[in-house]
Amino acid sequence: MTIKKEQIIPNGWFSRFEFIKGVAAFDQLPDDIGAEVAFSGRSNVGKSSALNKITNRRSLARTSKSPGRTRELNYFAYDESTHIVDLPGYGYAKVDETMRNAWAKILERYLRERSSLKGVFLIMDIRHPMGKFDQIMLDYCKSCDLPLHVLLNKSDKLSKSAANKTTTDISRALADINGSVQQFSALKGVGLDEARQKLADWLFLT
């Protein structure tokens, strides 16, 4: 049963997600009901590791030494109407132009037409933020008035002052959209509680 505003979110809710299906075409999507949150990011930013950390699962989302292994929209269910969606990674994925174009068409339609989509987590490497794909995602979310939350992953790789400067810069880039940003480390657990709270807000409290 989906958790309502007046209900208490149960302890360990974040670890209850299970993989249900991979979607390669728009007409394969589950019924457009309830709430879902998408996770996106370039292929080398640690998207799967971040998702696994947030859900307290070692292998909910597959990680690989070869970036770009996510080839579908992968659905993970909390219940029949509450989902996390792992979107295809971009950037270093070794796929041909035809596949890239197919992904782009599905992704754009998904972001624009999916009414159950409550928000997008955009994972960036804090050392190399705001690449071409990141800007495209910002533009999509702005045009669709879709809430966006940026996870600046690998924040443990920078000094505190450098990490804070990058966080401020990204916050300014989000000034004219419905967006927020935080530091995160899938390796060290930095920002884990904040990320889980944002996910719970979108899935259960909107």
Distance separating alpha carbons of residues 43 and 70, to the nearest angstrom: 8
Distance separating alpha carbons of residues 96 and 193, to the nearest angstrom: 38
pLDDT at 162 over 70: yes
Percent of the chain having pLDDT more than 90? 70
- Per-residue pLDDT tens digits for 172-194: 999 999 999 999 999 999 999 99
| Separation of CA 167 from chain center | 18
pLDDT reported for residue 92: 42
pLDDT at 144 over 70: yes
Among 43, 205, 63, residue whose Cα is nearest residue 125: 43
Across 166-171, average pLDDT: 98
Range of lowest pLDDT (40-54, 96-110, 167-181): 96-110
Q: With beta carbons less than 8 A apart as the criterion, state whether 134 and 42 touch.
A: yes
| Separation of CA 170 from chain center | 16
Cα dihedral: 115, 119, 125, 128 (round 10): 70
Percent of the chain having pLDDT more than 70? 87
Q: Among 1.10.1380.10, 3.40.50.300, 3.30.420.40, 3.60.15.10, name the CATH number for the domain at 13-18+40-204.
A: 3.40.50.300
pLDDT at 65 over 50: no
pLDDT reported for residue 194: 97
pLDDT reported for residue 59: 75
pLDDT reported for residue 61: 73
Q: Break the chain into its structural domains and give their ranges.
A: 13-18+40-204
Across 41-63, average pLDDT: 87
Across 53-61, average pLDDT: 87
pLDDT at 1 over 50: no
Range of lowest pLDDT (17-21, 87-91, 148-152, 170-174): 87-91
CA of 197: how far to CAs of 25, 33, 50, 96, 141, in Å? 31, 22, 14, 38, 20
Q: Which two tokens stand for residue 147?
A: 């809430």
Helices (H), the chain: 47-54, 97-113, 132-144, 160-173, 192-204
Mean pLDDT of the chain: 88
Among 120, 169, 157, 170, residue whose Cα is nearest residue 141: 120
- Per-residue pLDDT tens digits for 119-140: 999 999 999 999 988 998 999 9
